[in-house]
């Protein structure tokens, strides 16, 4: 794979050529590079230059997603978890103030996280408050172990989407990271969610230890017509990260089941910031601190869930009088300093606009701990796989 002008090309096994515009992420397949270039030109582009993209992103006057940590309490001790474990809960009085500020910030989506959100004793009241002020796009990330019938009814009533974390397809494989006896409890929750017709999915965090079981995980939930997917573990030692060749094997297995290349990356979220399943829009940042923010139980605002262990990343406290101005100033600062063109390590990379510079939190962890793992190798492998297999 190499760059030619603003397009990267891959010659595929059948002799065809696939190419992607490195800025706009439009892609095409043809008999030759000239065919691809002609096709891309006919598709048109959303932005003709980096300057136009900057003008657009600076004009955004809403926040796409707030990850709202209701509590830092969780009954599990997953070895890869980077969530704080200080036992904090958001209070109802703070939640009332928080929801008012979220409305002022024009937040579009609320994701309730933790800890374990269902451990919060006032979860029903918190959700009702969010919903009553117009924050009605709500989802919950949960370990799926303890959801009461009362809250199941609320989930059904308000069409709340549930994402359940599960790392195996049976007791043995799941217990390796999520503890003994929890697989059956989660499957019971899934049965109850199915009974009320709730929208939910099951997500597996891939590590070097459990990726060998990923195909069986796919088969197990696919056969039950249950939505599933994978995250790739971050902020861990090199030996806990799945190898690229094992990820590629999983990609190819999904292809063999009829997945498109775009759907593979919608399922295996190994490079979320590239959004290969949403081609046609340039990405020069993951969105942390620009379109997405994180809120802790005491209302501190961070750019990213993976940065909660670094107090230097606190943007403000949402309950401060000047919090909205500080969030907007931080956003402007991130646009000016943290977009991919401003990262020295990315300056000469031909795929930087597609990759966006990888995960900032993970890269900081890798650098600070002198690890040898390279996010760059994964991003390049992912784009190559996409271009080799798209359109088939």
Domains of the chain with CATH codes? 2-45+349-389 (no CATH), 61-334 (3.20.20.70)
Digit-coded pLDDT (tens) for 228-256: 999 999 999 999 999 999 999 999 999 99
What pLDDT score does 279 carry?
A: 67
pLDDT at 3 over 50: no
What pLDDT score does 141 carry?
A: 97
Confidence band for 45, pLDDT divided at 50, 70 and 90: confident
Digit-coded pLDDT (tens) for 191-225: 999 999 999 999 999 999 999 999 999 999 999 99
CA 1 – CA 19 distance, rounded (Å) = 10
For 206, phi then psi, to 5°, come to -80, 130
Torsion 356-358-359-364 (CA) sign: negative
Please compute the mean of the pLDDT values over residues 69-92 and round it to a whole number: 92
pLDDT at 281 over 80: no
Instruction: Specify the range with the lowest mean pLDDT, choosing from 113-127, 257-271, 274-288.
Output: 274-288
Digit-coded pLDDT (tens) for 301-359: 999 999 999 999 999 999 999 999 999 999 999 988 888 888 888 888 888 888 888 89
Burial 71-109 (b: 16+ CB within 10 A, else e): bbbbeeebebbbbeeeebbbeeeebeebbebbeebebeb
Instruction: Specify the range with the lowest mean pLDDT, choosing from 47-51, 274-278, 375-379.
Output: 274-278
pTM of the model: 0.94
Residue 18, both tokens: 């696939």
What pLDDT score does 130 carry?
A: 97
Confidence band for 100, pLDDT divided at 50, 70 and 90: very high
Greater confidence, 283 or 266? Answer: 266
358: β partners:
none
SS3 content of the chain, % helix, strand, coil (to 5): 45, 15, 40
Contact by Cβ (8 Å): 387, 265: no
Q: Percent of the chain at pLDDT above 70?
A: 97
C-alpha distance from residue 206 to each of 54, 84, 272 (Å): 34, 21, 14
What pLDDT score does 4 carry?
A: 37
What pLDDT score does 392 carry?
A: 77
CA 372 – CA 361 distance, rounded (Å) = 16
What pLDDT score does 280 carry?
A: 66
What pLDDT score does 337 carry?
A: 86
Contact by Cβ (8 Å): 377, 244: yes
Question: What contacts 223, CB < 8 A, 6 or more positions away?
Answer: none
Digit-coded pLDDT (tens) for 150-200: 999 999 999 999 999 999 999 999 999 999 999 999 999 999 999 999 999
Burial 185-218 (b: 16+ CB within 10 A, else e): ebbebbeebeeeebebebbbbbbbbbbebbbebb
pLDDT at 24 over 50: yes
Q: Percent of the chain at pLDDT above 90?
A: 76
């Amino acid at each position: 794979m190499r760059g030619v002008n603003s397009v990267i090309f891959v010659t595929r096994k059948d002799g065809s050529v696939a190419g992607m515009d490195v800025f706009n992420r439009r892609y095409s397949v043809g008999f030759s590079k000239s065919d691809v270039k002609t096709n891309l030109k006919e598709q048109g582009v959303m932005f003709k230059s980096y300057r136009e993209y900057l003008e657009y992103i600076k004009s955004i006057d809403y926040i796409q997603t707030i990850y709202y940590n209701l509590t830092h309490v969780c009954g599990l001790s997953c070895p890869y978890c980077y969530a704080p474990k200080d036992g904090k809960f958001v209070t109802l009085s703070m939640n009332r103030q928080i929801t008012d500020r979220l409305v002022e910030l024009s937040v579009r989506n609320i994701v309730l996280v933790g800890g374990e959100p269902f451990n919060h004793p006032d979860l029903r009241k918190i959700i009702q408050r969010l919903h009553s002020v117009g924050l009605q796009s709500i989802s919950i990330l949960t370990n799926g172990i303890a959801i009461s019938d009362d809250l199941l009814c609320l989930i059904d009533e308000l069409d709340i989407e549930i994402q359940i974390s599960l790392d195996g397809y049976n007791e043995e494989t799941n217990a390796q990271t999520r503890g003994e006896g929890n697989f059956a409890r989660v499957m019971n929750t899934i049965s109850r969610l199915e009974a009320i017709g709730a929208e939910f999915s099951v997500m597996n965090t891939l590590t070097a230890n459990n990726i060998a079981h990923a195909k069986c995980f796919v088969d197990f939930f696919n056969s039950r017509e249950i939505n599933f997917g994978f995250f790739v573990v971050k902020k861990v030692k090199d030996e806990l990260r799945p190898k690229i060749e094992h990820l590629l094997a999983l990609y190819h297995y999904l292809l063999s089941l009829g997945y498109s290349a775009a759907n593979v990356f919608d399922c295996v979220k190994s490079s979320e910031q590239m959004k290969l399943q949403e081609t046609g829009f340039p990405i020069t940042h993951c969105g942390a601190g620009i379109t997405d923010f994180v809120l802790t139980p005491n209302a501190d605002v961070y750019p990213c869930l993976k940065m909660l262990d670094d107090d230097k990343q606190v943007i403000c406290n949402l309950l401060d009088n000047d919090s909205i101005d500080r969030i907007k100033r931080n956003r402007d600062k991130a646009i000016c300093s943290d977009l991919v063109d401003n990262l020295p390590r990315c300056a000469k990379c031909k795929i930087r606009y597609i990759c966006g510079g990888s995960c900032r939190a993970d890269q900081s962890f890798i650098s600070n701990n002198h690890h040898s793992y390279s996010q760059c190798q994964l991003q390049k492998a992912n784009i190559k796989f996409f271009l080799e297999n798209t359109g088939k």
